[in-house]
Amino acid sequence: MRPGARLRALVRAGLREERLSLAVAALAMAGVVLAELLAPWPLKVIFDHVLLGHALAPSMAWLQPLLDRGAWLALAVSAAAIGAIALAGGALAYLQLYTSARVGHRITWRLRGALFAHLQRLSLAHHRAQRTGELITKVAGDTNLLRDLFSDGLLAAARHALTLAAMLAVMFWLNPWLAAAVAATLPPLLGVIYVLNRRVKTAVREQRKHEGRMASRLNEVLGSIALVQAFGRGGDEEDRFKREIEANYASGMKSARTSGAIVKAIAVISAGGTALTVLLGAREVLAGRLTPGELLIFVGYVGALYKPVKDLGRQSARFARASVSARRVAEILDIEPDRADAPDALVLEQPAGEIVFENVSFGYDPARPVIEGLNLRIAAGEHVALVGPSGAGKSTLVSLLLRLAEPTAGRILVDGIDIRRYTHESLARAIGIVLQDTMLFAVSVRENIAYGRPDAPLADIEAAARAARAHEFIVELPEGYDTELGERGATLSGGQRQRLCLARALVKAPAILVMDEPTAAVDPASARLIHDAVARVQRGRTLLVIAHDLAEMERYDRVLVLDGGRVVEQGPHAALLRARGPYLALVERRHG
């Protein structure tokens, strides 16, 4: 796929859907240009035909009856025409701005939705390699700049181009020689804008890069504020953030200087063009080749002619920012999603819960595999504990089962079918997960528990909370299950957050429940109650627990000992102790 193809396709689709609004905006734009063309003509009538009494040109003979009725009536009608043209131009300009802004907002709304959906289809490995702040800057900031472009930038550029062409045509019709003199000032002006605009684009690209780094740094520090304060590193973090701010400031000032140079160049050249028009036009009037009223039209048109060029110069930085932003957004959309469902993907319905790893290998670095040649079968309804030293591959095994990562070799089966053949949604629906990282959202307790099953009734939510030993503290919150939590559940203790995460998994009543040390943050008595409740809820369903505390191992049907990415020993807790192998050594090391 060609670079930027997805972005172009999204924009084209948005423009097609907004074609009626675009047509209205285009008509309004044409009306604005026509109003600008007509604006000086009532003055020509007043000066040439009312004050000086010149005869009307054949093309304006339709005004003769008005002049025949007296000078005062002609003056009043001409003044009224000036006001009417201004009112019509203002109304049409408002209609164009409103309609084009609506188009810009709707296209940006679609683009942000598509960008967010695309990010969710990218693998966990991709997200780990990206800076979160940079992604936020692209989704929120860069799309804002594109919105400004769609809202007014493109139509404004079209209006300016149409105004230039129409006014030059009228000027050439009135006096070709003087029009050619005015037109001769435009190429150097446009050349200056083109050269400086390229410099603006380079400066803006640097600025957006620094803004992304700044957002990433801010996100990282605020997300780890407790660690920063605990280690007393606030001053160091301030210095690091200050360096990012200074780099952003330097690139921003470079962009501002170049934009200012464009405006200055336009002002100088346009002033020279206006002076040249007045000088040469006055000579034409004295020579009788131009009327005073026509000179007024020329002077009015020259001012209006340079105005679009000035606006284009002022907007050059805006266009440069939009161009850089479009490229940054396109970079994300160009990444091929690796979590997309196959066209013939199956829906995992009524799963039994059997899990099989067949010769599975995986490594974050291909040269250093974390799991190698793993063969493992967990029967439907079996309760299994997974133990082993740190780095043995336990969490990686869970990531592979959840398809957060893909094996480099071998395959994983659920109910006898390769999990890559299932839709991601149906596989996620069949598996409940409780991780050590207790991630909660800044919504109500009820919504957090029902996250994996949004339609769950309150009775099921409360039952899951009771099983997770969370109901007791939830009802003591200010609004019970409707209490809004802080970001990441910061208003709760670690143990409370862990219990809510467990309730969130249990409310799904999953065929397969995977837990990574689910009771690490609770006291031993509560831990036993939670284990009992989970065993009861998951009776007849598959349970896989990554365990670090080996005190509750006798409750599992089987214990798997993982080391070096392989199962080195397995069996019931008592049998493994009698075997006096790796499992016993692990127990003695943990409790020694």
DSSP string computed for 224-268: THHHHHHTT-HHHHHHHHHHHHHHHHHHHHHHHHHHHHHHHHHHH
CB contact at 8 A, 372 and 566: yes
Give percent above pLDDT 90 in the chain.
Answer: 5
Q: Which of 4-8, 309-313, 350-354, 381-385 has the lowest mean pLDDT?
A: 309-313
Pick the residue with more confidence: 269 or 60? 269
Mean pLDDT of the residues in the chain: 78
pLDDT-based confidence at 522, cuts 50/70/90? low
Tell me, what's the pLDDT at 203?
73
Whether residue 298 has pLDDT greater than 80: no
According to the per-residue pLDDT averaged within each range, which of 38-42, 230-234, 319-323 is highest?
Answer: 38-42
pLDDT-based confidence at 320, cuts 50/70/90? low
Q: What is the pLDDT of residues 168-217, one digit of tens each?
A: 787 788 778 777 877 777 777 777 777 776 777 677 777 767 777 777 77
- Asked if domains 5-333 and 355-591 share a fold, the reply is no
Cβ atoms < 10 Å from Cβ of 368:
7
Q: What is the pLDDT of residues 349-408, one digit of tens each?
A: 888 889 999 999 988 777 788 888 889 999 999 999 898 887 778 888 888 888 888 888
Pick the residue with more confidence: 439 or 379? 379
Tell me, what's the pLDDT at 413?
93
Q: What is the CA radius of gyration of the chain?
A: 36
Among candidate residues 156, 196, 187, 193, the one with its CA nearest the CA of residue 308: 156
pLDDT-based confidence at 554, cuts 50/70/90? confident
Q: What is the pLDDT of residues 26-83, one digit of tens each?
A: 888 888 878 877 777 777 766 666 666 666 666 666 666 766 676 777 677 777 877 8
CB-count burial class (<10 Å; 0-12, 13-18, 19+) for 87:
exposed
Tell me, what's the pLDDT at 412?
92
Residue range 106-133: average pLDDT?
Answer: 73
Three-state DSSP at 130 gives coil
Give percent above pLDDT 70 in the chain.
Answer: 79
Tell me, what's the pLDDT at 231?
60
What's the CATH number for 355-591? 3.40.50.300
Tell me, what's the pLDDT at 163?
76
Tell me, what's the pLDDT at 47?
65
CB contact at 8 A, 89 and 32: yes
Q: Which helix (H) or strand (E) holds 384?
A: strand 383-387
According to CATH, the topology of domain 5-333 is ABC transporter transmembrane region fold (1.20.1560)
Q: What is the pLDDT of residues 478-499, one digit of tens each?
A: 888 888 887 766 778 877 888 8
Whether residue 133 has pLDDT greater than 80: no
Tell me, what's the pLDDT at 195?
74
Joined together, the tokens standing for residue 221 give 């520090």
Q: What is the pLDDT of residues 327-339, one digit of tens each?
A: 777 777 777 766 6
Whether residue 416 has pLDDT greater than 70: yes
CB contact at 8 A, 360 and 407: yes
Amino acid at site 64: Q
Q: What is the pLDDT of residues 118-127, one digit of tens each?
A: 777 776 666 6
Q: Which of 14-18, 218-222, 559-563 has the lowest mean pLDDT?
A: 218-222
Indicate the pTM of the whole model: 0.63
> Percent helix, strand and coil across the chain, each rounded to 5?
65, 10, 25
Give the angle 28-29-32 at the CA atoms, nearest 5°.
90
CB contact at 8 A, 351 and 512: yes
Tell me, what's the pLDDT at 237?
73
Phi then psi for 12, rounded to 5 degrees?
-60, -45
Pick the residue with more confidence: 127 or 238? 238
Residue range 519-524: average pLDDT?
Answer: 67
Joined together, the tokens standing for residue 418 give 């390769």
pLDDT-based confidence at 132, cuts 50/70/90? low
Pick the residue with more confidence: 48 or 278? 278
Tell me, what's the pLDDT at 415?
92
Whether residue 592 has pLDDT greater than 60: no
- Every domain of the chain and the residues it spans: 5-333, 355-591
